[in-house]
Structure 1
Amino acid sequence: MRRYTRTLVAAALTTTVVAGTAGWASGHAQQAVTGAPVGAEAWRADGLPDPERTSPADIAAFFRGLSPARQQELLRAHPSVVGNLDGVPPKLRYEANARTLGPEYAGRQVLAVDPRGRGQIALVDGDLTTAEHVAVVVPGSDIDAGNVRPLTDMADALRRAVDSRTTGGRTADSRTTDRHTAGGRTAVIAWAGYTTPVGVGVDAATGELAEAGAERLTRLTDGLAAVGAPAPSLFCHSYGSVVCGLAAHDLKVKDLVVFGSPGMRAANVGELRTSARVWAAKDPSDWIDRIPNVRFAGLGHGADPTDPEFGARRVPADDAHGHDGYFAPGTQSLRTFAAIAQGDVR
């Protein structure tokens, strides 16, 4: 009887979520963009490795076996594939993507770009080939190539916090600091590499988009490992934490940091099946705290990662404000994120 009652309560709470109360807003159903990069058909026709069937490690080995001249030939002939193929050397990907993008991205290190659907993009600050540490920021709802600013603001705030720690509290002058070497030891990736929900409605309450995103996130970390980059720390916001939770068991990462999370589709850290350290943050004013932590009939994302019983390490966030305030300058959460990114927290 008690179990039956809990099921009824869970159903009622989940219906409340989907109905749009408790701070949730309606959203439009999204079709996840998946599969091989644009231009893959012509790439395959040239007898080149299948982007979907070839692992990032094998892609990296393939490119290592090519002369610089041949690499450039492939870049010119197939820029949309070379620029989006995990395992290709990052600098070659930046050069390829510069050919397919407009002037608004001039000078930016674009690790991936997909024009399909609402558009996806991944931007890098720092040198992935020489960095001692890598941080990846994974966003939640409403982020895409046309609305990437909230994500890059988070990534830039993390970079500045890392810079401040590196310089002993003195913030580097953005007019004189090369953004590609900022922080020195740490590279930061702003990864809008999956189809996010629009608004916080049914898409955000289910796992379909997160499952597709998890596959892409896994290939990203496989690709970083294939080119010799350090295992990254992932910073997963809101629905992005669902993506990170579903991918956790396959990710080559050292830290999983979730904040403003509706759940990770796991009851506890053990169910994530990861060797990474798992961290969680939620500030007292975050509206996500009003969302029921349930899973019923495919809806909801389960346990609150900040619940002590979940088993994650708690990131202090009492001075953050709202759902998007975790990267605000001077907050405990941002300072802790920077320390985690630099491997300075045990």
Structure 2
Amino acid sequence: MRRFRAGRTIAAAAVALAAVLGAGGWAADTQTPLTGPPPGTAAWTADTSLGLRLPDPATAAPAQVASFFAELPQDQQDALAARHPLVVGNLDGAPVALRYRANALALAAERTRELARATDPSLTPQDHEAARTRAERYRTLLDGDRQILAFDPRGRGQVAEVYGDLATARRTAVIVPGSDIDLLRFDRTADPYGTPAGMARALRAEEQQQAADTQTAVIAWAGYTTPVGLGVDAATEDLARAGATRLTRLLDGLAVSTRPEAPPTVFCHSYGSVVCGLAHPSPARASGLVVLGSPGMGVDSAADLDHGVPLWATARNGSDWIGDVPNVRLLGLGHGADPTAPGFGARPLPATGSHGHTGYFAPGTASLAAYAAVALGRS
């Protein structure tokens, strides 16, 4: 009888999970994560113009990259960025200001390429429209003094942007987004607080209100391949594992290329909390983890994470659909225990005033005020 009840419970959980995902619009296609070194790596590693062996992006740790650039005069750094912008712009451990310049060059080159594709007679009208859309996206990322820390045009595209000055910031934060975020959806006017750029801007503005005398910086990081829709990818951890590797490398790079008072606080939204859980950063990489709208973290409890990195879980507001997702891990589906459950072991944060799955960073909410306090080290 006990075995029967257990089997029935497991079957019910699986059916419930499938039903919830189906209700959200099952995505039949799956995503292939971007892994490995940035585009242009072959030309970079073959470059002997400086009479030096350049660090291999596939194998060199960010600390090794930082040491390499520390020995180079500025003119040689600039020359490498001009010759290999996609490599330097994505090379964790390279000087931050150099990465900004390299990514500006890469964005300009990709925009020129897309504008040419937009009028290429050998392509279809759909190809022309897609090229115009990408070209416009690149133009907006080149506007003003935007600080693009990473840019990869492959696939759906990836990007990271810095708000504030990483060179002078005393407190820093990283936003890790969930599903449906990529180069084109990194920033948008509709539902702005559901994008990493909108979350980052809101967090930094709140920090400045709470501590005008404290220099802060926030990184909006769309640096991994996210699921599209609510399908197999969203219910499994394959993309999260690949994302966790990239997140760890980002945090390692920040540790050697910036000098805040403490490592960044990492904010993990929705599927991004699975990425953060699987990355389980050490105290050298993160001052704390904050999860919001979380379907689970891929772990059974906070005890499975590094005890030196505090974990906060945001109370789920009543209109967040993520509350309908069963907290199970079964046959490779689901992300485990609810981080907001009392027994999980996370420190609670309020969500008063927030609405829906993407409203936790909205100005005026108790959640945003709490996030700023945590990021400022005042919790």
Q: Structure 1-normalised TM-score?
A: 0.91
1:81 aligned counterpart, secondary structure:
helix
- In structure 2, runs of 5+ residues without a counterpart are 48-52, 108-137, 188-194
2:280 aligned counterpart, secondary structure:
helix
Residue of structure 1 in register with 2:321 after alignment? 287
- Report how far residue 159 of structure 1 moved: 1.4
Q: Measured at CA, do residues 136 and 7 of structure 1 come closer, stay the same or move farther in structure 2, by a change above 3 Å?
A: farther
Structure number with higher relative contact order (C-alpha < 8 Å, ≥ 6 residues apart): 1
CA distance in 2: counterparts of 1:212 and 1:120, whole angstroms:
14
Q: Measured at CA, do residues 65 and 297 of structure 1 come closer, stay the same or move farther in structure 2, by a change above 3 Å?
A: same
CA distance in 2: counterparts of 1:7 and 1:58, whole angstroms:
51
CA distance in 1: counterparts of 2:276 and 2:223, whole angstroms:
12
Judge conservation of contact 1:284–1:318 (CA < 8 Å) in 2: no
CA distance in 2: counterparts of 1:239 and 1:83, whole angstroms:
26
- Report how far residue 19 of structure 1 moved: 4.2
CA distance in 1: counterparts of 2:323 and 2:239, whole angstroms:
22
Q: Deviations over 1:167-214 (max 9, x none)?
A: 4xxxxxxxxxxxxxxx85210000000000001111000000000000
Residue of structure 1 in register with 2:141 after alignment? 105
CA distance in 2: counterparts of 1:37 and 1:75, whole angstroms:
13
- Report how far residue 128 of structure 1 moved: 1.1
- Report how far residue 4 of structure 1 moved: 5.8
CA distance in 2: counterparts of 1:186 and 1:155, whole angstroms:
11
Aligned residue type for 1:224: L
CA distance in 2: counterparts of 1:6 and 1:253, whole angstroms:
39
Match for residue 172 of structure 2 among 134, 137, 143: 134
Judge conservation of contact 2:328–2:335 (CA < 8 Å) in 1: yes
Aligned residue type for 1:215: T
2:81 aligned counterpart, secondary structure:
helix
Match status 1:165 vs 2:210:
yes
Q: Deviations over 1:117-175 (max 9, x none)?
A: 100000001111211111111100000001111221111111111121124xxxxxxxx
Pair member with larger Rg: 2
Judge conservation of contact 1:84–1:112 (CA < 8 Å) in 2: yes
CA distance in 2: counterparts of 1:141 and 1:205, whole angstroms:
11
Match for residue 82 of structure 1 among 75, 78, 88: 88
What does 1:1-346 align with in structure 2 at a 5 Å threshold? 2=2, 5-21=5-21, 23-27=23-27, 28-46=29-47, 47-101=53-107, 102-106=138-142, 107-149=145-187, 150-167=195-212, 184-230=214-260, 231-250=263-282, 252-281=285-314, 282-345=316-379
Identity %: 53
- Report how far residue 319 of structure 1 moved: 2.5
CA distance in 2: counterparts of 1:340 and 1:110, whole angstroms:
25
2:331 aligned counterpart, secondary structure:
coil
- Report how far residue 22 of structure 1 moved: 7.6
- Report how far residue 21 of structure 1 moved: 5.0
The answer to which of 147-156 and 289-298 deviates more is 147-156
CA distance in 1: counterparts of 2:207 and 2:348, whole angstroms:
20
Judge conservation of contact 1:206–1:298 (CA < 8 Å) in 2: yes
Q: Measured at CA, do residues 310 and 153 of structure 1 come closer, stay the same or move farther in structure 2, by a change above 3 Å?
A: same
Q: Measured at CA, do residues 219 and 7 of structure 1 come closer, stay the same or move farther in structure 2, by a change above 3 Å?
A: farther
CA distance in 2: counterparts of 1:333 and 1:317, whole angstroms:
5
CA distance in 2: counterparts of 1:263 and 1:67, whole angstroms:
47
Q: Deviations over 1:278-335 (max 9, x none)?
A: 0001222211111100000110000000001000000011321111110111111000
Q: Deviations over 1:236-255 (max 9, x none)?
A: 00000000000014571011
Q: Measured at CA, do residues 3 and 278 of structure 1 come closer, stay the same or move farther in structure 2, by a change above 3 Å?
A: farther
CA distance in 2: counterparts of 1:145 and 1:55, whole angstroms:
26
The answer to which of 35-44 and 278-287 deviates more is 278-287
Residue of structure 2 in register with 1:178 after alignment? none
Judge conservation of contact 2:268–2:291 (CA < 8 Å) in 1: yes
**Which aligned runs of 4 or more in structure 1 are off by greater than 4 angstroms?**
19-23
CA distance in 1: counterparts of 2:309 and 2:46, whole angstroms:
40
Aligned residue type for 1:266: V
CA distance in 2: counterparts of 1:126 and 1:48, whole angstroms:
30
1:137 aligned counterpart, secondary structure:
strand
Judge conservation of contact 2:21–2:230 (CA < 8 Å) in 1: no
CA distance in 1: counterparts of 2:182 and 2:354, whole angstroms:
25
Q: Structure 2-normalised TM-score?
A: 0.84
Q: Measured at CA, do residues 274 and 217 of structure 1 come closer, stay the same or move farther in structure 2, by a change above 3 Å?
A: farther
Aligned residue type for 2:269: H
- Report how far residue 6 of structure 1 moved: 3.4
- Report how far residue 273 of structure 1 moved: 2.8
CA distance in 1: counterparts of 2:253 and 2:70, whole angstroms:
14
CA distance in 2: counterparts of 1:184 and 1:105, whole angstroms:
27
